[in-house]
Amino acid sequence: MGKTIVEKIFSKACEKEVKAGDFVFASIDLAMIHDITAPLAIKAFKEIAGENAKLWDSKKVVMAFDHQAPADSIKSAENQKQLRIFAGEQGILNYDVCGGIAHQLMVENHVLPGMLVVGADSHTCMYGALGAFATGIGSTDMGCVLATGKLWFKVPESIRFNVHGRLEKHVYGKDVVLRIIGNIGAEGANYKACIFSGEVVKRFQMADRLTMCNMAIEMGGKAGIVEPDKITLQYLKEVGREFSGELLTSDEDANFEEVELDVTGMEPQVAVPHRVDNVVGISEVEGIKVDQVFIGSCTNGRYEDLKISAEILKGEKVAKGVRLIVIPASRREYMRALKDGLIDVFLDAGAIVEFPSCGPCMGGSFGLIAGGEVSVSTSNRNFIGRQGSPEGKIYLVNPAVAAASAIYGVLTDPREI
């Protein structure tokens, strides 16, 4: 019996042959903490290793400020001050205070195919788009990683989602993953590696692959993965990094649970409040009044997403009474959009363009909704209170639906404009 890419990555990390279901103590290649999760992780690290202990390897730890950066309160400012002190004491070189969302910074600057990566954030699974195994862990587990560079795992079984057919205009990776989540449910892939494959995924460029892997956690997945190929290598080249190692892929006779999806004729998908797996076609929710539109987040804040939105918004105006917030995922993505004139399009349309950050995605800062308001968002979660008031409602969509809805002030099918 052959091995899945997951079994191969864990075998490499354990320096022995392992298979799905094995309990292993694996070496970590990279660990990510950010301004919200770092304080608890550091507290756990000091309790495990001692107050004056050193990190297992400061070069393999990435710290980013993105959820409340720049600081939006005295409390967050004090928190970030302590984190800066810790970074200086520990010699953390991979340290970014306002360069963008941690997940985007990780794929641009740090993650490589075949790595085993952990992050103190559930959407760490996004990095699997580069052919890595990446998963979110809790602060106590992260404290163990910071102290030892290792962590216990049960090697996950794998579900391979084979996506076939041809996508309609204005239907993207976001719609494909929403449809998968809607089909199998929020717990349909509990503790399993979600491997996205098939002719549609293989044609996707990195932006769509990142979006799909980002949302693997929304169906309970331990990780999301697209097996690395020439598109992976091309992306690494574009961000200024080279990879000369072996591209680990699954063997043909590896053991998968297989799920088939034909996307031919599928319309843009919408996750309706208050569950990510409550997914319907846009035709079922057209006309719902919108108060705010958010284009951004680690799910859909890349240049390609911004370009899709800008092409629809060009020469148009945001509807009266609607707030359109646009937040690029990183400084690199912001600069690409700026040089290509996309920021001008957004500003001319009446949008607010913010610095690279998480923004309203987790209800922490900048652009929250009030009670009774409706947010149309390209982010990854529509839970109660996720973007502000628990009396608000969040509809998750792709960037084209978001832009069209901003123009008309109601949920709108972009294929009809």
DSSP annotation string for 161-178: EEEES-PPTT--HHHHHH
**What is the pLDDT averaged over residues 269-294?**
97
**What is the pLDDT averaged over residues 224-231?**
97
Of the ranges 3-12, 45-54, 109-118, 153-162, which one carries the lowest mean pLDDT score?
Answer: 45-54
The pLDDT assigned to 66 comes to: 80
Contacts of 81 (CB under 8 A, 6+ apart): none
> E strand or H helix at 225, and its extent?
strand 223-225
Q: Which residue shows structure tokens 């949008």?
A: 351
Give the CA diameter of the chain.
Answer: 62
- Nearest Cα neighbor of 329 from 353, 372, 290, 299 is 299
* C-alpha 316, offset from chain centre: 29
Instruction: Answer yes or no: are the C-beta atoms of 297 and 361 closer than 8 Å.
Output: yes
The pLDDT assigned to 287 comes to: 96
- Nearest Cα neighbor of 213 from 334, 300, 278, 333 is 300
- Nearest Cα neighbor of 155 from 2, 4, 1, 31 is 4
**Structure tokens given for 134:** 């990446």
The pLDDT assigned to 156 comes to: 97
Does domain 5-260 fall into CATH 3.30.499.10? yes
The pLDDT assigned to 97 comes to: 73
Distance separating alpha carbons of residues 111 and 94, to the nearest angstrom: 12
Dihedral sign (CA 189, 192, 193, 197): negative
Dihedral angle of Cα 402, 365, 63, 380, to the nearest 10 degrees: -30
Burial class (CB in 10 A: 0-12, 13-18, 19+), 70: middle
**What is the pLDDT averaged over residues 334-355?**
96
Fold designation for 269-416: Aconitase; domain 3 (3.30.499)
Residue 203, pLDDT > 90, answer yes
Residue 244, pLDDT > 90, answer no
Residue 271, pLDDT > 90, answer yes
Of the ranges 70-79, 134-143, 185-194, which one carries the lowest mean pLDDT score?
Answer: 70-79
Residue 98, pLDDT > 90, answer no
The pLDDT assigned to 346 comes to: 98
pTM: 0.94
Dihedral angle of Cα 97, 98, 101, 105, to the nearest 10 degrees: -70
Instruction: Answer yes or no: are the C-beta atoms of 100 and 356 closer than 8 Å.
Output: yes
The pLDDT assigned to 364 comes to: 73
Residue 171, pLDDT > 90, answer yes
Q: Parse the chain into domains and list their residue ranges.
A: 5-260, 269-416
The pLDDT assigned to 36 comes to: 86
The pLDDT assigned to 119 comes to: 96
**Structure tokens given for 41:** 């992780």
**What is the pLDDT averaged over residues 295-308?**
96
Cα R_g (the chain), whole angstroms: 21
Instruction: Answer yes or no: are the C-beta atoms of 405 and 282 closer than 8 Å.
Output: no
The pLDDT assigned to 81 comes to: 87
Phi, psi of 214 (to 5 degrees): -55, -35
**Structure tokens given for 30:** 């990279």
Distance separating alpha carbons of residues 409 and 405, to the nearest angstrom: 5
Residue 367, pLDDT > 90, answer no
Q: Is 5-260's fold the same as 269-416's? A: yes
Strands across the sheet with 30-34, in order? 94-96, 61-64, 30-34, 116-119, 133-136
Count other C-beta atoms under 10 Å from residue 6's C-beta: 27
